[in-house]
Amino acid sequence: MLAAKRILLIIGGGIAAYKSLELIRLLTRAGATVVPVLTRAGAEFVTPLTVGALAGSKVYRDLFDLGDEAEMGHIQLSRAADLVVVAPATADLMARMAAGMADDLAATLLLATDKRVLLAPAMNVRMWHHPATQRSLAALDGDGVLRVGPNEGDMACGEFGLGRMAEPVGIVAAIEAALGGGLLAGKHVLVTSGPTHEPIDPVRYIANRSSGAQGTALAVALRDLGARVTFVTGPASVPTPGGVAVVRIETAAEMLAAVQAALPADAAVMAAAGADWRVANARDQKMKKDGSGRAPALEFAENPDILATVSKGAMRPALVVGFAAETDDVLAHATAKRLRKGCDWIVANDVSPATGIMGGTENAVTLITADGAETWPRLAKAEVARRLAARIAAALA
């Protein structure tokens, strides 16, 4: 599957650069063409001679190398590839990439490319956990940049933790998935995410605290397994992911219409916190105080239940997954909800304020299927998403 594929491999300046030599060998053996770009810091760890010999290619190094510009300018170099891989992706490279800088050849290629980019981060554990790196990461995730690793383990600097570059075989697997050989290749998955806004009048609305983080992470994880993802989102506070078809809506009624327009799909995952009610007597004009001191009364009407409508509809996807946001008796409520709504699985979570889950970065979920309930440990939302995407891939296989 890698035969005749062209990989632009950017090697950053970290001790893990030695593993990139093995990566080049694996890729070329699988029939891929590797075009290497070595940063100035990268060349402190591996020599251009070794990289060039293994890749059987010229090694690109300098933005202002006029010979290169005459042969193949940086724009063309960035676009002639099928995939851009950065391994190791250092904290510095990630920060410059997130900021959109173009201060060396690697950064310029990353800014100029129209291809997907896969990062294999590698750095000291403290550098990885530093808020600055996590900010870069969040921005890059939001831009649709793909990532493999980092892994946990012993580091060259003697510390232990997250920050080891993924192993070359793992990077090859991620490259294959990015190039369309993933477990969900050829599948269409619909994801709803975020809150809805239900208008009271033209300037006011009723909403909820959903950030859209879990739905966004799911879209990313499904995309990374090769699925074609339609992402129907309310006004979320996290950026929308790259590499997916984004449909923006405001109200639950609009969400239902967008979902129905996106069908058919192989699977639907309803992670949105759609409003159960809308304001029935919403005004066309801004409501004014009338001086009487009397507060206006809002009347509510029930919204369509998107999950139930899709689960029971004629165009039902083979797998329908709902979420259940509960504050008490989570298991009982969620189990009943699965049956009531007619979906296959329910991902239940406790959204009591004390859990910090709604709007937070972690989630503690119980997966409820026809076979029973499975409680997962508290995990980063991205990890919950990866596990769920893997389960979805297995169910659709």
Question: Taking CB under 6 A as the criterion, which residues in 62-81 touch ligand CTP?
Answer: none
| Residue closer to ligand CTP (CB basis): 145 or 307 | 307
DSSP tag of 286: -
Q: Per CB under 6 A, which region of 9-17, 86-94, 173-181, 304-312 contacts ligand CTP?
A: 304-312
Give the burial class of 95: count Cβ atoms within 10 A of its Cβ; 0-12 exposed, 13-18 middle, 19 or more buried.
Answer: middle
Question: Taking CB under 6 A as the criterion, which residues in 316-345 touch ligand CTP?
Answer: 322-325
Tokens of 75: 């724009």
- By annotation, the residues acting in catalysis are 157
Q: How far is the CB of 271 from ligand CTP (least distance, A)?
A: 6
| Residue closer to ligand CTP (CB basis): 45 or 345 | 345
According to the binding rule CB under 6 A, does residue 306 interact with ligand CTP?
Answer: yes
Q: Per CB under 6 A, which region of 16-24, 67-75, 267-275, 354-362 contacts ligand CTP?
A: 267-275
According to the binding rule CB under 6 A, does residue 215 interact with ligand CTP?
Answer: no
Instruction: State yes or no: cis peptide before 150, omega within 30 of 0.
Output: yes
Among 189, 182, 181, 218, CA closest to 318: 189
Rounded CA separation 256/327 (Å): 25
Which residues in 103-159 belong to E strands, given as ranges? Answer: 117-121, 146-147, 151-154
Give the burial class of 227: count Cβ atoms within 10 A of its Cβ; 0-12 exposed, 13-18 middle, 19 or more buried.
Answer: buried
Q: How far is the CB of 278 from ligand CTP (least distance, A)?
A: 9
Contact 396, 267 (CB under 8 A): yes
Non-local (6+) Cβ contacts of 337 within 8 A are: 322, 324, 346, 348
Contact 365, 349 (CB under 8 A): yes
Q: How far is the CB of 390 from ligand CTP (least distance, A)?
A: 20
Q: Per CB under 6 A, which region of 46-54, 268-276, 284-292, 374-382 contacts ligand CTP?
A: 268-276
According to the binding rule CB under 6 A, does residue 303 interact with ligand CTP?
Answer: yes
Non-local (6+) Cβ contacts of 328 within 8 A are: 352
Give the burial class of 99: count Cβ atoms within 10 A of its Cβ; 0-12 exposed, 13-18 middle, 19 or more buried.
Answer: middle
| Residue closer to ligand CTP (CB basis): 141 or 305 | 305
From candidates 307, 320, 357, 367, binder to ligand CTP by CB under 6 A = 307
According to the binding rule CB under 6 A, does residue 274 interact with ligand CTP?
Answer: yes
∠ CA(137), CA(138), CA(140), 5° rounding? 60
Q: How far is the CB of 270 from ligand CTP (least distance, A)?
A: 4
Rounded CA separation 381/241 (Å): 14
Q: Per CB under 6 A, which region of 57-65, 92-100, 270-278, 368-376 contacts ligand CTP?
A: 270-278
| Residue closer to ligand CTP (CB basis): 218 or 220 | 218
According to the binding rule CB under 6 A, does residue 272 interact with ligand CTP?
Answer: yes
Q: Work out whether strand 146-147 and strand 365-369 pair parallel, antiparallel, or are unpaired.
A: unpaired
| Residue in the shown chain whose Cβ atom is closest to ligand CTP | 306
Q: How far is the CB of 245 from ligand CTP (least distance, A)?
A: 19
| Residue closer to ligand CTP (CB basis): 84 or 270 | 270
According to the binding rule CB under 6 A, does residue 244 interact with ligand CTP?
Answer: no
Binding characters for ligand CTP, 118-137, by CB under 6 A (x = yes) = --------------------
Binding characters for ligand CTP, 175-194, by CB under 6 A (x = yes) = -----------------x--
Q: How far is the CB of 241 from ligand CTP (least distance, A)?
A: 18
Letter for the amino acid at 10? I
Q: Work out whether strand 83-89 and strand 117-121 pair parallel, antiparallel, or are unpaired.
A: parallel
- Tell me which residues touch ligand CTP (CB under 6 A): 192, 252, 270, 272, 274, 276, 303, 305-307, 322-325
